[in-house]
Amino acid sequence: QVKELVLDNCRSDDGKIIGLSSDFENLEFLSMINIHLLSVSNLPKLNKLRKLELSDNRISGGLEVLAERTPNLTHLNLSGNKIKDINTLEPLKKLPNLHSLDLFNCEVTMLINYRESVFTLLPQLTYLDGFDADDQEAPDSDPEADGEGLEDEYENGEDDLDEEVIDDEEDEDDDLEGEEEEDGVDDEEEDEEEDGEEDEEDEADDDLPRGEKRKRNLEDEGEEDAEEEEDDEDD
């Protein structure tokens, strides 16, 4: 019941795939990247296979086997192989469902009018090396799997945090200003109370008759002189 099989970086035996047989009849995805594969001649019959990854191997031809063994193939990646001529790709015409082909880092991509020639040779293709005939890029299969959704959430989260920090700082500034204003009011009230007490004493002195007022002043001076004499005696 295996539907996906990845054999990347495994060692093939003299360019042959050991253990891979037609018993994997339900296989839909097969990846054999960088296993020193020389050809696909030993590929078993895999009627349900749709995606085949063969990049970074040493395949130079013999692609007619794919039409015989994997007739329902839709995606084929031959990047980094030894394919040099457009004619080497001609057997892929027998794969009617093939709509995506990758040939990155193959010598064939250096040929003049390479893209036009391949699209002409394989009219069933939609994408060659990730772009269609009008140079429109193939859409991503799953944006969330690439982490784009998480980045947006993270950025939004940072914006929310920044707004909260700004709000907190504004609240603290308001509190400090309020405290300063209250302190200022309290100080003014204390000054007014002290001034009021002094004014009341002055008014009380003004209400006394001149003789009693003079007597009171003399008594105050006498008390001050007595205090000074006591200080002198102590010295």
Q: What pLDDT score was predicted for residue 22?
A: 86
Question: Which of 37-41, 96-100, 143-147, 164-168 shows the lowest per-residue confidence on average (mean pLDDT)?
Answer: 143-147
Contacts of 18 (CB under 8 A, 6+ apart): 12
Average pLDDT score over residue span 160-171:
54
- Tell me the pLDDT tens digit for each residue of 195-213: 555 555 555 455 554 545 5
pTM for the full model? 0.60
Q: How many domains does the chain have?
A: 1
% of the chain exceeding 90 in pLDDT: 51
Q: How many DSSP H helices and E strands does the chain contain?
A: 4, 6
Residue 213 lies in a domain: no
Residue 206 lies in a domain: no
Residue 13 lies in a domain: yes
Average pLDDT score over residue span 43-60:
96
* Lookup: tokens for 20: 């891979």
Q: What pLDDT score was predicted for residue 149?
A: 43
Residue 91 lies in a domain: yes
User: How far is Cα 206 from Cα 204, in angstroms, rounded to an integer?
Assistant: 5
In sign, the C-alpha dihedral spanning 190, 196, 201, 202 is: positive
Average pLDDT score over residue span 124-139:
94
Average pLDDT score over residue span 32-52:
94
Residue 230 lies in a domain: no
Q: Domain range spanning residue 114?
A: 4-128
CATH number at residue 120: 3.80.10.10
Q: CA neighbours within 13 Å on the CB side: how many for 82? A: 11
Contact assessment for residue 46 and residue 22, using Cβ atoms and an 8 Å cutoff: yes
Which amino acid is present at 171? D
- Tell me the pLDDT tens digit for each residue of 68-79: 999 999 999 999
Question: Which of 3-7, 115-119, 169-173 shows the lowest per-residue confidence on average (mean pLDDT)?
Answer: 169-173
